[in-house]
Structure 1
């Protein structure tokens, strides 16, 4: 929802008429911008100077000036944010940001600039840049509008990977319910005019699929309508390419349709005009694979549809054996959904607990650093293994309307924010003298050494992020007493999480880690955002399947360690220290200002 018509504001500020037949006056009319001129009038300038200032307001300042002079409009905008899904105006305008220069290399940035100069017809400047850079310009080498997208991906809030999550706690339950309802309605993003057609109507339409030669010189499907895609996946069960893409389809289909729509299309295919048994068999085979490979897709609504199809069509058609097989698969799905997964430990190491573990005087400093690292692994992995594939697809971390569908992912991100803030609070507030601060910093670095050995990149980055935050980093006195080993640990963390070459060091470490392992989610979510915003959802009106292939690989890489848990025993007293984080936000804010 937009409350401001920018074009009208521009004409009003410049004194132009909104009528098509009127000419623009040489001087702006006083009444047309009196509200804007109040800003400069208060500074003691003359009225004519105020008018001149208002006349020269750049377009980028129009909205902010209106918001400043009309707080009622600003208040209305802020109150409507839960419905419009807009960020706070102050957050958009005033947030501290830093450029992540690694996102765009010098050569790519140069290509983007040269492309812009070419499109604007600035040939002399383009020629000069080519001469000085010895870089040859190739027309349309980069996608149109690529620069704004790349810049958007490459900008992050300073020292805060998951900043927007701070607003989650204060959400109105009614607003959350509204968002959940809207997200249900908006899930199916396919073109209704095409996908509402019966699947048999698209069978011979060659315009509904796009093929592309791959490296083996064979045709591979690049884009298709939903009807043609389901037909291709169902009618070629033994094709290696189909078998591979079936996994991609099952994981990524929520990004372009719903499970109910897919089942409807399969039932349409089952009811072929010729009532061919081979078509029926293909559909049933695909359904059985779907149930076995993606049991989490079959909620109550989908199971009701499927059972109705089995009872009213398959049984009546005499396919009782297949009906029995599907029912067996459904029963296994229902059992898996109700059975709580319990990790079986195999000879776990004895916990390193202090003698006063049951005492009310137990402090954080009493607990062994390795045991703290172990308990952090148990806490973080419990959240990591619970994340469902669909939570990565719906971008719940940036889209408030989908928060209710990304609960586990958001919990892990909030845990990162809280733990990072707690570490900063411990270093800046709880310890009053420099010696105590240095000792505590050394303890966190020792914990980091164990976390690196255990491949817990999540808490490892939280510790590094807190230590490397502006407020802590500028307190140089607390680092002067660190041992040589602790200084080397900090240097290793800097290398591991350095942004050079798109976080190459971290990516190699994550690739070679082996299970059990917990990724640092910020970098992986950044990859997903890049893929989503830099690649079109559709090609010529059809579903872009190449984009889904890329999404599948990113999500699979992020989830690849979910199946192997840590083999440690839970120590309740230690986990209480690490989860019941007590933070004096006011005192922490003051310490940030004083640094």
Structure 2
């Protein structure tokens, strides 16, 4: 259920489907190449058999000569590659290979105009479902089943752009040639040096799975807007965490520069047309969709940097650079900016139609003078859950970066205002719970309060409110209450068993192993224990440098990947609201108790008066 909700609300879910389709196409390619190897072996066997037999006339050769090995392999290769290109609906806009082969050195071929990239005004631009930034205004999420090779140019290096792993230079062509010889089947499409990547190979480091491990900021920006592929996971991680290594204004400065890239020197008119169609246009679409996604999902109205970026986007969208090339996209961005300027926080929020009716509140007879023991444990837990869920749902991704909630710098600490508020509420609630127990002078009444609190904790678990469950367990384990030996001896065994079970559930043993297992097994709505996430974020922040080892310029993107994983888990529980009815009188009672609670030192003195040492 959690995974389904996450997928339904994830703007990047479409990219995963495209990746699956691409992997299928690549598997087909490998099968075709294996077939070529087998065909070559058969032809060699046939030649050996023919050499040992009397010379036979070739059907179309009046002199009885056999077709050469190169001719057979050329025909076999072309037939196989032709079928591969024309049968796949994932492959790029390559012309069928029925035409005679042209020399590789020419580096030019007849171009099929009907196979050009779709326009931004195509039907795909009106899709209403979840989208991946960089794909909703283009016909395909990943351009081409095969990359466009690049030859070694001035200041460059050998290798081809690899669509299977976007952003990685592919050196497999030479390996295939070594294995199969000069008759090895070629890759689809012409090999254009000017369709390579603009960053140097050393500027981007990938891991064994093809994910980004680190890179310079320009290389990461280029990866964000690749012309020959789409890495949806990278895009999501980048937009969630970019504030930890750059500013919003610097990001958009790079994106605007990326939108207006210039062609390499020395291109003839045909090459310039190919460069424009295969590189410039896809990049501009990517940039547009990244900006659009940022405006809809990642803009923070409390950030001065973001508000200034709105003016930058508006000016750029109205400039000739974008208005003359992508007028429709420019209008869309201007409308989004104006909508952001007029909105007050609410923007493209998911609204769920709750078909189930909220349960009837269980209220005490006298709401004007509420007593704790007169409150129904379930209703008390419901009101706690409503209040805590509202606070949890306000947490923003930027609050999870660089341990902002622990910073002594007021400007940085202000970014984590909601996390700090939840921590403060938890501490005040724990002190209030202590005071509720210690305010009772009679031992039997203290036992009743403890029993009531354990029942509330059980209801909190039923409501999946692990945040207040953890706070309740922590309160009952604090020294002012924990030391009351005579009081705990009178607590019923059933209550003690439940208390011990809940304490084990929320315990820190094995990095909250039992709690993590239960959290990942429940269905939303849910309010997780934020303290566990903060511990994970501190471990990631302190255990990984901002830059890769032995480098002071390659941003450690793996660190941001791990941070984004925690942020996504926090976000997935913010999607589903609770269907409960607020009771203002009970919530006011809870707030008054938290605001007027005593300090820990005063509570310990109260404990000593009840049961001296």
1:227 aligns with 2:200: no
1:234 positional shift: 0.2
Is the Cα contact below 8 Å between 1:314 and 1:320 reproduced in 2?
Answer: no
User: Residue 573 and residue 268 in structure 1: after superposition, are their counterparts in 2 closer, same or farther (change >3 A)?
Assistant: same
1:320 positional shift: 1.6
1:333 positional shift: 4.1
Specify the alignment match of 2:392 in structure 1.
384
1:518 aligns with 2:527: yes
Specify the alignment match of 1:213 in structure 2.
208
1:211 positional shift: 2.3
Is the Cα contact below 8 Å between 1:237 and 1:243 reproduced in 2?
Answer: no
1:494 positional shift: 2.1
- TM-score, normalised to structure 1's length? 0.61
1:579 positional shift: 1.2
Specify the alignment match of 1:459 in structure 2.
468
Please list the CA deviations of residues 162-213 of structure 1 after superposition, one character each: whole Å capped at 9, or x if unmatched. xxxxxxxxxxxxxxxxxxxxxxxxxxxxxxxxxxxxxxxx934222111222
How do 1:231-380 and structure 2 match up within 5 A? 231-236=222-227, 238-239=229-230, 242-274=231-263, 277-278=280-281, 279-296=283-300, 299-314=306-321, 317-334=324-341, 337-339=344-346, 346-357=356-367, 359=368, 361-380=369-388
Please list the CA deviations of residues 215-250 of structure 1 after superposition, one character each: whole Å capped at 9, or x if unmatched. xxxx332111010011111024743xx111100111
Specify the alignment match of 1:144 in structure 2.
none
For 1:265 and 1:547, the matched residues in 2 are separated by 22
For 1:462 and 1:454, the matched residues in 2 are separated by 15
How do 1:382-421 and structure 2 match up within 5 A? 382-401=390-409, 402-421=412-431
Specify the alignment match of 1:203 in structure 2.
198
Is the Cα contact below 8 Å between 1:314 and 1:323 reproduced in 2?
Answer: no
Aligned to 2:360, the other structure's residue is in SS state coil
For 2:323 and 2:526, the matched residues in 1 are separated by 50
Is the Cα contact below 8 Å between 2:470 and 2:529 reproduced in 1?
Answer: yes
Aligned residues: 386
Aligned to 1:213, the other structure's residue is in SS state coil
User: Residue 255 and residue 237 in structure 1: after superposition, are their counterparts in 2 closer, same or farther (change >3 A)?
Assistant: farther
Aligned to 2:582, the other structure's residue is in SS state coil
Larger radius of gyration: 2
Tell me the C-alpha RMSD between the 2 structures: 2.4
Specify the alignment match of 2:166 in structure 1.
none
1:327 positional shift: 2.4
Aligned to 1:513, the other structure's residue is in SS state coil
1:499 aligns with 2:511: no
For 1:255 and 1:486, the matched residues in 2 are separated by 47
1:559 positional shift: 2.7
User: Residue 210 and residue 460 in structure 1: after superposition, are their counterparts in 2 closer, same or farther (change >3 A)?
Assistant: same
| Structure 2: stretches of 5+ with no match in the other structure | 1-196, 265-275
Is the Cα contact below 8 Å between 1:373 and 1:451 reproduced in 2?
Answer: yes
1:571 aligns with 2:562: no
| Structure 1: stretches of 5+ with no match in the other structure | 1-201
For 2:346 and 2:220, the matched residues in 1 are separated by 34
- TM-score, normalised to structure 2's length? 0.59
Is the Cα contact below 8 Å between 1:377 and 1:456 reproduced in 2?
Answer: yes
How do 1:574-585 and structure 2 match up within 5 A? 574-581=586-593, 582-585=596-599
Is the Cα contact below 8 Å between 2:205 and 2:212 reproduced in 1?
Answer: yes
Is the Cα contact below 8 Å between 1:515 and 1:564 reproduced in 2?
Answer: yes
1:348 positional shift: 0.4
Please list the CA deviations of residues 529-572 of structure 1 after superposition, one character each: whole Å capped at 9, or x if unmatched. 00110112111230111111111111212232111111111101
Please list the CA deviations of residues 273-306 of structure 1 after superposition, one character each: whole Å capped at 9, or x if unmatched. 3395524344223322333342447832111111
User: Residue 592 and residue 306 in structure 1: after superposition, are their counterparts in 2 closer, same or farther (change >3 A)?
Assistant: farther
1:546 aligns with 2:546: no
Please list the CA deviations of residues 69-114 of structure 1 after superposition, one character each: whole Å capped at 9, or x if unmatched. xxxxxxxxxxxxxxxxxxxxxxxxxxxxxxxxxxxxxxxxxxxxxx
How do 1:422-437 and structure 2 match up within 5 A? 422-428=432-438, 430-437=439-446
User: Residue 439 and residue 285 in structure 1: after superposition, are their counterparts in 2 closer, same or farther (change >3 A)?
Assistant: closer
Is the Cα contact below 8 Å between 1:296 and 1:337 reproduced in 2?
Answer: no
User: Residue 394 and residue 485 in structure 1: after superposition, are their counterparts in 2 closer, same or farther (change >3 A)?
Assistant: same
Please list the CA deviations of residues 29-79 of structure 1 after superposition, one character each: whole Å capped at 9, or x if unmatched. xxxxxxxxxxxxxxxxxxxxxxxxxxxxxxxxxxxxxxxxxxxxxxxxxxx
Is the Cα contact below 8 Å between 1:442 and 1:486 reproduced in 2?
Answer: yes
1:590 aligns with 2:590: no
For 2:319 and 2:433, the matched residues in 1 are separated by 60
User: Residue 411 and residue 318 in structure 1: after superposition, are their counterparts in 2 closer, same or farther (change >3 A)?
Assistant: same
